[in-house]
Amino acid sequence: MKRKTKRIICIALIYTLFCLVAILMINYVDIGTEAEPVAELEESTEQESELVEEPVIKVVTPGTGHVVCIDAGHQQRADMKKEPIGPGASKKKARVDGGTTGKYTGITEFQLDLEIALKVQKELEDRGYTVVMTRTTNDVNISNSERSIIANEAKAEAFVRIHADGSDDTKVHGASTVCQTKDNPYNGELYESSRKLSDCVLDGVVASAGCKKRQVIEVDSMSGINWSKVPTTIIEVGYLSNKDEEAKLITDAYQQLLAKGIADGLDNYFK
Ligand SMILES: [Zn+2]
């Protein structure tokens, strides 16, 4: 071959080699740039799954899934007609008596009980409970047995009845709860659960409101307990015959502490 031809072939070979290297480099860079969007895609998938999980965490509150019935004691006008104190009982008591009245402020128990009950409803609903109220106004006529039947028909897992005490002894103050005895002829089988509920609610109220802890009273003479087919307690929040306690009981702030205490007690009961 001529020297010139050899030179042309040589240049052509170098050029081809250069082109091959160039093609390889372009391919390499392509792979590199393609890898990045994959990583971005993975990241955005992670962010999406985090967003999906967030509301689930918010829904899990202590009361979720639990049904509670709240009864504000008494009503605007007493109904002294009689009803049996339990299913099939020959002994009878007034359908609903008038309750007590504040010795110093004149507040009626039915009004105080309702104010606290409505705060308990709000507190429990905020914690995820399903709340059934026996009454939300004072102008009703619902007997004690009828209130229990509301709780029974709602299949409530706890029935909490809100009351206030009164005494001729103006020094007496503090909170108590009430449940049946284990020998109650109508629903003695509910004693264990009602006693536990009474302990939990009383301890919750005392811890939250800072009032004196009196006792859990066990009696079989309460129509609103005897007709109940679900765990039941009466919380006596304090005395409307003690000057200091009555002054606290009528305030929104103290009523809110009582409501928080009752809700704390229910949280503990269902733990
Ligand atoms: Zn009462």
97 CA distance to ligand 1 centroid (A)? Answer: 8
Q: Which CATH class is domain 67-270?
A: alpha beta
Contacts of 245 (CB under 8 A, 6+ apart): 173, 174, 211, 238, 239
Task: Tell me the CA–centroid distance for residue 79 and ligand 1, in Å.
Answer: 14
* pLDDT, tens digit (0-9, with 9 covering 90-100), for 239-270: 999 999 999 999 999 999 999 999 999 999 99
**Segment 101-138, tens digit of pLDDT:** 999 999 999 999 999 999 999 999 999 999 999 999 99
Q: How far is the CA of 172 from the centre of ligand 1 (A)?
A: 16
The pLDDT score that the predictor gives to residue 65 is 87
pTM recorded for the entire structure:
0.78
In the reported structure, the alpha carbon of residue 234 is separated from the centroid of ligand 1 by a whole-number distance in angstroms of: 9
Structure token pair of residue 246: 């009555």
Identify which has the larger pLDDT, 184 or 20. Answer: 184
Residue 105 Cα to ligand 1 midpoint, Å, equals 17
What is the DSSP code string of 5-41? HHHHHHHHHHHHHHHHHHHHHHHHHHHHHHHHHHHHH
Instruction: Compute CA distances 240 → 64, 110, 269, whole Å.
Output: 34, 12, 28
Q: State which amino acid sits at residue 257.
A: L
CA 74 to centroid of ligand 1, rounded, Å = 6
Q: Looking at residue 64, what DSSP letter applies?
A: T
Ligand 1 center to residue 153 CA distance, Å? 23
8 A C-beta contact, residue 148 and residue 224: yes
> Treating both helix axes as pointing N-terminal to C-terminal, what angle do 252-270 and 109-126 enclose, rounded to 10 degrees?
50
Please name the residues in contact with 38: beta carbons below 8 A apart, sequence gap of 6 or more. Answer: none
Q: Mind listing the pLDDT tens digit for each residue in 128-159?
A: 999 999 999 999 999 999 999 999 999 999 99
pLDDT more than 70, % of the chain? 78
Lowest-pLDDT choice from 1-5, 63-67, 153-157, 158-162: 1-5
Residue 109 alpha carbon to ligand 1 centre in Å? 7
pLDDT greater than 60 at residue 175: yes
- Cα separation, 240 vs 111, in Å, equals 12
Output 18 or 261, whichever has higher pLDDT. 261
Question: Closest Cα to residue 236, out of 132, 121, 99, 94?
Answer: 99
**All structural domains of the chain with their residue ranges:** 1-60, 67-270
In this structure, the dihedral spanned by the alpha carbons of residues 258, 125, 72 and 214, taken in order and rounded to 10 degrees, is: -30
Distance 175 CA to ligand 1 centre (A): 13
For residue 178, name the pLDDT band (cuts at 50, 70, 90): very high
